[in-house]
Structure 1
């Protein structure tokens, strides 16, 4: 069907952020390689979310934090146009720097006042090496930070569970856990599509967050690699 005049103008931006731990520990056991593969696999499913809501324009960005933080994808990019370049690991786990960089774009401007609530997926395999709580409080003090839909993915046994729960902002929520590459693919795919659907009101915001991604194969002790 031809696009109705003005229909594209009616779209509201939905900013989707990946907040990726790129510390040195991510280099071990193929975790960084698996993360890059998992994000690539999640992008087509995010495109399906975007296609399912003609009133929202899903725009992807990525922050990499290690020693400090930097934009890996700085320009808000339509999900079907994003070409994923591999993240690289090294340094500390400066989550505070990542949160501060995220907060810098959740003010108006540059955030559009008519935007949908931003969606944020935090992915980490360890414990922050800086004091992150004040940065998180500053993020939550921003109107768009407070309205953001946040979910966390913990990679391996050493992921800081308390930090992941605190980031999500709900003490009853459980982060998604990934203990091997197959788990991580399922976790990133589910977490990304979940927060995008919630933010764009395609599913109820009160939908419970499971402790692990649906359809992720249970890993017994012999299969756990992280």
Structure 2
């Protein structure tokens, strides 16, 4: 993510979304929600050493960088979606990819690695493009389903709204739709083979400008997978 304004907007949007994510987790007692953030710029780096229960999750601000190693990010995620460490039976992962640029490494290799893992293939994959410079073609390929539209955030309020949507509605969908028909609340949910169908939100033009006085850390990674 090349612009300071964009990264500040992203940091602000995720901080705004966190309370909603925690609320969704509280409302879905049959599904335990974990979160982990992968930042990618010059390489890819987990911002958390392991999965964190959403109730304990906190956000570390990112700073802007000019490189977009998206392929490395997808390969890194693929390693974590192997069985093990992933269990054979669970709710599907929700992967939210946010980017404002074009991959600067081998995106195809990274996508093959991700889709080569069962959990990567079955994950609910959401992508948010920030601004006009984002590579929408690769983001659509990451999503992989025509039923799920790419989210294009052209202003700060859209970014906030899309992240809130991805953090709440998608989590609710994943915990609801992927229970097998004969599943009971006391047993582990089995993954369904059906394609996800989500109602992508639309928003009116924002009435407010970008947030002010947002501090960033020294983390030199720009885009992220959440």
- Please confirm whether the aligned pair reaches a TM-score higher than 0.5, indicating the same fold: yes
In structure 1, C-alpha distance between the alignment counterparts of 2:91 and 2:196, rounded to whole Å: 17
**More strand as a share of residues:** 1
Structure 2 counterpart of 1:96, from 67, 71, 82:
71
SS of residue matched to 1:109: coil
Structure 1 counterpart of 2:144, from 160, 169, 190:
169
Give me the TM-score of the superposition, normalised by structure 1: 0.79
Give 1:43 shift. 0.9
- Please name the residue that 2:9 is paired with: 34
C-alpha contact 2:127 2:143 (8 A) present in aligned 1: yes
1:114 corresponds to 2:89: yes
Unaligned 5+ segments in structure 1 are 1-22
Structure 1: 4+ residue segments shifted above 3 A: 202-209
Residues 209, 168 of structure 1: alpha-carbon distance in 2 compared, 3 angstrom cutoff: farther
| Cα deviation digits, residues 120-155 of structure 1 (max 9, x gap) | 000001111112112112211111111100000010
In structure 1, C-alpha distance between the alignment counterparts of 2:136 and 2:70, rounded to whole Å: 14
SS of residue matched to 2:101: coil
SS of residue matched to 1:201: helix
Higher relative contact order (CA 8 A, sep 6+): 2
Q: How many residues align?
A: 194
- Please name the residue that 1:207 is paired with: 197
- Please name the residue that 1:183 is paired with: 158
Give 1:167 shift. 0.5
Structure 1 counterpart of 2:119, from 144, 162, 178:
144
Worse overlay, 184-193 or 167-176: 167-176
SS of residue matched to 2:51: strand
Give me the TM-score of the superposition, normalised by structure 2: 0.79
Structure 1 counterpart of 2:135, from 134, 155, 160:
160
C-alpha contact 1:42 1:192 (8 A) present in aligned 2: yes
In structure 2, C-alpha distance between the alignment counterparts of 1:119 and 1:136, rounded to whole Å: 16
C-alpha contact 2:71 2:105 (8 A) present in aligned 1: yes
In structure 1, C-alpha distance between the alignment counterparts of 2:76 and 2:138, rounded to whole Å: 18
| Cα deviation digits, residues 187-226 of structure 1 (max 9, x gap) | 111122233122212699643343xx44x32369xx89xx
In structure 1, C-alpha distance between the alignment counterparts of 2:177 and 2:17, rounded to whole Å: 18
| Cα deviation digits, residues 68-116 of structure 1 (max 9, x gap) | 0000123211112112111122141000110011011101111122321
In structure 2, C-alpha distance between the alignment counterparts of 1:206 and 1:96, rounded to whole Å: 24
C-alpha contact 1:53 1:202 (8 A) present in aligned 2: no
